[in-house]
Structure 1
Amino acid sequence: MPSNLRPSTAELLFPSVLTPETLETAAGPVAVRLDDASLEAVARCHEYLHTCVAEGREIYGTTTGFGPLVVYAGQDEGADQCENVLSHLEVGQGRDLDPPVARAALLTRLWSLARGRSGVAPDAVEALVAMLGTTFAPVIPEYGSVGASGDLAPLAHAIRSLQGRGDAYLGTTRMPADKALAEAGLRPVRLTGRDALGLVNGTSVTAAVAGLALAQLHRSVRVGTALTALLAGVLGCRPDFTAPEIFEALGHDDTAERAADLRARLAGHEPSGTRALQEPYTLRCAPHILGAAATSLRHARQVVTDDLNGISDNPLFFPERDVVAHGGNFFGQQVAFAADLMTNTAAQVANLAERQLDLLIDPRRNGGLNPVLAEDPGRDHGVQGVQLAATSLVVAMRRDTTPSAMQSVPTNFHNQDIVPFGTQAAFTALRQARTLRLLHGSLAVALRQAVHVGARRPTADACAQVLDALGPTVSRDRSWAVSVRAAADVLDRAC
């Protein structure tokens, strides 16, 4: 076994439901097992494609040119036609996608192709399976897709990497793709027939990126709930704002669930008796904000999961009905809308975290603790810098809330005369999810600092456990920036 190849740490059986959390397993090697029925379906569809071609049927991208050039004939040889599609789509720009994101995109593409409706050769499907079993990741640039007719440019770059052209990653090391393939024990993929178009003509980057964002945002709702409970515990708030009767009257199940989680986390909480009857909205209405976030994410989860498990390609082949269907199952509008919703949801949860941090550092509202939680105000400045950085982060998130899903610009010689920009919507949602982690890390560090400078230790066991888990993240031997990132990592595991 090559030195850079390690045993698979996860195993997936196809067919099974691909979820946002499953996508995260693709960060490392994953063994994908296709059942016999799926392998047979792929082979049967591939044979049907060749039958259709032999019969002289017109099939988009196989016998024709691409996009608006569909009225012209394509290359005569299958391998040349594959080169024909990839060569004009190798146009991406921008930074590389992180290797785990690139690998998740190809796992998603595999899930579509393995349903046996795309006409690709079994070898093309098996190449994706083999790649996912290693630490190989293609280099995929961020920009180039408009989220219609599939993520053509990003996936074209991915396939070039699998051919051994351009660059790729092995683990976290960027190197020439042919070298990465060799060290991973992989052979360059050879394409013919409809293989290249089948590999690129779907919204798999969009769906995968949105799925990864969604998995993190689900964690962040739990983290936001845990930090709200810890804030109430440190300040000694009255827990009345979590009373079940309030949420029975409201009628929103997700909000009631967030309130129930807060009550559970505050079990054993003893109010200080010094707080006002009603807390500011950053505490009193936190269940409503987090509950609304959970509702939005529940909708997004249905949309993204449907997309991850559907077939995005054109045309589709139905051998059992003798049908070749040309349509638009590459148009990522559903995920575009869902990703924009995730972006706005993340921004409001970030607003909550930033305002809770502001409450905590203010002596007028934090029970008289030192300003900015300094140990010796003026001689040190506590979490003053942490709050400044948090302000920068939350404004960056707000600026990103311009929706992508309706930013249509006609392109492709007016073949693609309306487009959804779902890929950019998904990238924004993932960026929002990652930034929200840092805002929660900032609030967590401030909560830890508050107890360090004299705030009471929470009396609820669940809150005390979170506080103790955060303890080692703050140290005089590390910068506040490192502490914030360490706290975000702890919260992902502890909540």
Structure 2
Amino acid sequence: MTTQIDLGAPLTADLLATAAVPVTVTAGPEVRDRVAASREFLSKALGDDRAVYGATTGFGALVGYAGRADLADQADNTLAHLGAGQGPDLPPAVARAAMLIRVWSLAQGASGVSPHVIDALIAMLGTTFAPAMPRYGSVGASGDLIPLGAAAQALRGRGHAYLNGERKPAAEALADAGLTPLPLDGRDALALVNGTSVTTAALGLALIEVRKIHHALQHLTALLTDLLGCDPQFLDARLIARYNHPGAAHVAGQMREFLRGVEPSGTRPLQEPYSIRCTPQLLGAAEDALRHIDAVVAADLGAVSDNPLFFPGDDAVLHGGNFFGQPAAFAADLLTMVIAQLGNLAERQLDLLVDPHRNTGLPPMLAAGPGRQHGLQGVQLASTALITEIRRDALPASMQSVPTNLHNQDVVPLGTQGALRALDQAGLLRLIAGSLALGLRQAVHAGARRPTAPACAALHDRLAEAIPPIDPDRPLEADVRTAAEISLRDAP
């Protein structure tokens, strides 16, 4: 069933992922009235010979010079010089999520765009069309100019686009999708590019994925606790209440519920390693951080990211910096920190699970016949490589400001890089979580007890039903992905 999205209602993060496939976007009378009023006000302002950035002027550092006299010609003036992006294309799902965010922002009636721009974006989102947008070129200030410029050109039938996942010339993709090239004037073109929609899309999609993995790691940690026979007192509500952090209380409560009915073996040490004992504190801190990122994404999705903005009721054209993606830049760097520490936790838990000195006497590497077989040895090596890749790339982007654009953009947030990096790293984190889940499935086959908590037993059984035991050795890359998918399936 096709997702329905109303441009008159709030845009929420969960809707971003739905835009990867065709969605039905609607604009009711109230939306259309405010878009039309904003457009009419722009015409009035231009008729009064007011200075309107991008409509009567050059762009960026060249704002002091007049733009082209013909407004239709001014669209080319806006977009041609932005055709400077490099690197691979963004994933079509990111490009389409960005266009959903862009149309929602434009539909708020503060951008002065032509109503047909809204209609064209709505029509595009109803197909599989996705503009080809270069990964490199945005500094997340004055909007994601270069990738969104490529998107605007693709909508005009220039450059390239994807249709049904196939990259082709944009004009061909438009025709095959039943769409027509989008006519733009200077204000329309600038409004399409002068926002941080790519940054917000990548950050929102990364957040959705990390939230799922964070939830899965609570369950996987509980299953590890049960399989090893650990005493779950580290989750006791009285203990956690004294820690006084809301995220820890939330996580501990979730884990206690998942471990309901667990029976400690009585053979484990009094105090478990931190990778078990401190999980409510670690995962709880991640929960608190994710709640902050939730709020940043929600604010961005409810924002009009553009310049200038038009206020017909006040007879005002206001020039400012609502395209400056600093909140998302900070949030993306924080999300990267969360990803790295979640990866550290899962990798250390896997290390504990395969170590016979710490796993209650299970065979090394959980091998069914050590030496003749090698169990999780290759998977652990790969997990080590994955976490080091995440950690190597964890330098904050938001502090890397370099002046550009003749010092017009003398400070820049670089949130685009941070958000896209977080999205990449979320994919690696998923694989580390899948590696841990595969180890937990193998542990019972290698001699661990069957889980005693019903929820833990059910999770193990889902893994065991889909993944045969590693006996004898076999390539495991597909099993890691399957284990990750099963582990994330219960995430809200």
Q: Same fold (TM over 0.5)?
A: yes
Q: In the alignment, what sits opposite 1:489?
A: 485
**Which digits, 9 at most, give the CA deviation of each residue in 1:42-97, with x for residues without a partner?**
11111111111111111100000001111111111111100111100011111111
Question: Which consecutive unaligned segments of at least 5 residues does structure 2 have?
Answer: none
Q: In the alignment, what sits opposite 1:280?
A: 273
Counterpart code for 1:421: L
SS at 1:188's partner residue? coil
1:300 paired with 2:296, answer: no
CA distance in 2, matches of 1:137, 1:492: 27
1:357 paired with 2:350, answer: yes
SS at 2:433's partner residue? helix
**Which digits, 9 at most, give the CA deviation of each residue in 1:167-206, with x for residues without a partner?**
1111222122122111211111111241000000000101
SS at 1:130's partner residue? helix
Structure 2 counterpart of 1:233, from 226, 239, 247: 226
Identity of aligned residues (%): 56
Counterpart code for 1:380: Q
Counterpart code for 1:150: G
1:261 paired with 2:254, answer: yes
SS at 2:74's partner residue? helix
1:72 paired with 2:76, answer: no
**Given that residues 474 and 480 in structure 1 are in contact (C-alpha distance below 8 angstroms), is that contact kept between their aligned partners in structure 2?**
no
**Which digits, 9 at most, give the CA deviation of each residue in 1:251-286, with x for residues without a partner?**
111101101111111111111121111111000001
Deviation of 1:473 (Å) = 4.2
Q: In the alignment, what sits opposite 1:459?
A: 452
Q: In the alignment, what sits opposite 1:43?
A: 36
SS at 1:194's partner residue? helix
**Given that residues 54 and 186 in structure 2 are in contact (C-alpha distance below 8 angstroms), is that contact kept between their aligned partners in structure 1?**
no
SS at 1:413's partner residue? helix
Q: In the alignment, what sits opposite 2:197?
A: 204
CA distance in 2, matches of 1:57, 1:344: 46
TM-score normalised by structure 1 residue count: 0.97
Alignment of 1:203-222 (within 5 A): 203-222=196-215
Question: Which consecutive unaligned segments of at least 5 residues does structure 1 have?
Answer: 1-7
1:124 paired with 2:149, answer: no
SS at 2:405's partner residue? coil
Structure 1 counterpart of 2:476, from 468, 480, 487: 480
Q: In the alignment, what sits opposite 1:195?
A: 188
Deviation of 1:478 (Å) = 6.7
Counterpart code for 1:367: T
Closer, same or farther: CA 391–161 of 1 in aligned 2, 3 Å? same
**Given that residues 98 and 198 in structure 2 are in contact (C-alpha distance below 8 angstroms), is that contact kept between their aligned partners in structure 1?**
yes
1:318 paired with 2:334, answer: no
Alignment of 1:389-404 (within 5 A): 389-404=382-397
SS at 2:149's partner residue? helix
**Given that residues 19 and 97 in structure 2 are in contact (C-alpha distance below 8 angstroms), is that contact kept between their aligned partners in structure 1?**
yes
**Given that residues 232 and 283 in structure 1 are in contact (C-alpha distance below 8 angstroms), is that contact kept between their aligned partners in structure 2?**
yes
Deviation of 1:250 (Å) = 1.2
Q: In the alignment, what sits opposite 2:81?
A: 88
**Given that residues 469 and 494 in structure 1 are in contact (C-alpha distance below 8 angstroms), is that contact kept between their aligned partners in structure 2?**
no
1:174 paired with 2:167, answer: yes
CA distance in 2, matches of 1:25, 1:492: 17
CA distance in 1, matches of 2:29, 2:119: 13
CA distance in 2, matches of 1:203, 1:389: 35
SS at 2:430's partner residue? helix
CA distance in 2, matches of 1:315, 1:390: 48
**Which digits, 9 at most, give the CA deviation of each residue in 1:426-447, with x for residues without a partner?**
1111112111111100100111
**Which digits, 9 at most, give the CA deviation of each residue in 1:124-162, with x for residues without a partner?**
111111111111111111110000000000001111111
SS at 2:143's partner residue? coil
CA distance in 2, matches of 1:177, 1:193: 21
Q: In the alignment, what sits opposite 1:333?
A: 326
CA distance in 1, matches of 2:432, 2:220: 11
Q: In the alignment, what sits opposite 1:136?
A: 129
1:29 paired with 2:29, answer: no
